[in-house]
C-alpha cells in the first residue's frame, strides 16, 4: 500500500492529515495486543469532515496508522512535550497509557528505522514537495494540520479539552494574521469552546514546516471528537448532524486563510507572532 495519498489543488492551502490512516502491515498487526489492534487513537473521519470545504486545497493524507510510526513526531524520536505524558515516534502505549504491544514484541531500533524509511519519510517527502509547489505558485503556503482526539484523556491532560484546539507553536509557526483569523472565527462559533496553544501547541508537522520567514506558515487544528462523532468510543461512528454544525466554521477558517494567502499579505508580513 502507498503510505501517502495526495490530492493536488491550485490554491495556497495544504491540508495535512498524518493520523487518519488505519493500515497496519500484517507482520506488525500480529505483534499488537488486543488494545493495540483496536486502533483507538485514530483521527477518526477527519478526511470526511474536511472533504469539500476548500475546493482548491491540496490534501496530503497518510494511509498508515500512527502505531506503525507516527507521522507527526520528530523522526529523531525527541519528545515534543518534554516532561509530559505523550506518545512517541513508535508508540509504546495508547492515549490512556496502556501497552499496545504483545510482551517482547516492541519494535527495536532497527525496526523503527525501517518503519521510518518505509512510512514516515515518504509521507513527509510528499508533504514537503506539495508545500514547495504551492509556495512557488503563490509566493506563500499555509499548512493546515488536521487532527482530532477524544475530549477527555486523563493520561494526557486534565479535565475536558475544548472543541477547537489551535496550535501555532506559541505563535512561531505562522503569521499573526493567520493565527488571529482562526482564533476569531472559533471565538464566534456559538456553542463551541476554543483555546490557542493550550495542551496541543502543534506537533512536528507544525513546528518543522512553519517557517514564516520563508513564506511557509503552519497551523494545527486539534478538534475534540465530540464535534463530529456519535461517541468518543468504539465504533467511533461519524455523526452527520454534529459534523454539519461544525463544518461551516471549519470552512470559514480555511476560506479566510486562503484569501489571506492569495492577497499577498503573507508575502508582505512573514514575521511570526512573537
273 within some domain: no
Are residues 210 and 174 in contact, defined by beta-carbon separation less than 8 angstroms? Answer: yes
Q: Is 246 domain-assigned?
A: yes
Tell me the pLDDT band of 214, cut-offs 50, 70 and 90: very high
Q: What is the pLDDT of residue 273?
A: 47
> How confident is the model over 32-71, as pLDDT tens digits?
999 999 999 999 999 999 999 999 999 999 999 999 999 9
Within-domain flag for 43: yes
pLDDT tens digits along 225-241 = 999 999 999 999 999 99
pLDDT at 77: 85
The answer to whether residue 98 sits within a structural domain is yes
Burial class (CB in 10 A: 0-12, 13-18, 19+), 159: exposed
Residue 141 placed within a domain? yes
Q: Residue 255's domain spans which residues?
A: 4-268
Position 179 in a domain: yes
**CATH number of the domain bearing residue 194:** 3.40.630.40
Number of folded domains that form the chain: 1
Q: Is residue 147 part of a domain?
A: yes
Q: For residue 253, which of 142, 161, 127 has the smallest C-alpha distance? A: 142
Nine-digit cell string for 95: 492515549
274 within a domain of the structure (yes/no): no
Amino acid at each position: 500500500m502507498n503510505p501517502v495519498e495526495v490530492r493536488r489543488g491550485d490554491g495556497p492551502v495544504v491540508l495535512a492529515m498524518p493520523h487518519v490512516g488505519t493500515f497496519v502491515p500484517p507482520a506488525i498487526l500480529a505483534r499488537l495486543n488486543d488494545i493495540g489492534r483496536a486502533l483507538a487513537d485514530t483521527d477518526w473521519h477527519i478526511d470526511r469532515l474536511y472533504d469539500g470545504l476548500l475546493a482548491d486545497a491540496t490534501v496530503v493524507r497518510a494511509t498508515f496508522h500512527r502505531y506503525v510510526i507516527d507521522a507527526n513526531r520528530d523522526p529523531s524520536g525527541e519528545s515534543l512535550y518534554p516532561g509530559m505524558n505523550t506518545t512517541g515516534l513508535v508508540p509504546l502505549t495508547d492515549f490512556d497509557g496502556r501497552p499496545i504491544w504483545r510482551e517482547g514484541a516492541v519494535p527495536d531500533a532497527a525496526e523503527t528505522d525501517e518503519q521510518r524509511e518505509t512510512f514516515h519519510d515518504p509521507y513527509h517527502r510528499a508533504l514537503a514537495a506539495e508545500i514547495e509547489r504551492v509556495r512557488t505558485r503563490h509566493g506563500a503556503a499555509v499548512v493546515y494540520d488536521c487532527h482530532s482526539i477524544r475530549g477527555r484523556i486523563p493520561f494526557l491532560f486534565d479535565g475536558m479539552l475544548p472543541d477547537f484546539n489551535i496550535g501555532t507553536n506559541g505563535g512561531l509557526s505562522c503569521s499573526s494574521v493567520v493565527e488571529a483569523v482562526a482564533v476569531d472565527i472559533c471565538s464566534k462559533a456559538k456553542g463551541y469552546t476554543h483555546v490557542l496553544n493550550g495542551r496541543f501547541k502543534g506537533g512536528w508537522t507544525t513546528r518543522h514546516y512553519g517557517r514564516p520567514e520563508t513564506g511557509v506558515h503552519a497551523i494545527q487544528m486539534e478538534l475534540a471528537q465530540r464535534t463530529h462523532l456519535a461517541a468518543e468510543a468504539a465504533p467511533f461512528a461519524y455523526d452527520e448532524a454534529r459534523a454539519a454544525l461544525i463544518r461551516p466554521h471549519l470552512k470559514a477558517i480555511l476560506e479566510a486563510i486562503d484569501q489571506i494567502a492569495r492577497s499577498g499579505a503573507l508575502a508582505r508580513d512573514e514575521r511570526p507572532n512573537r
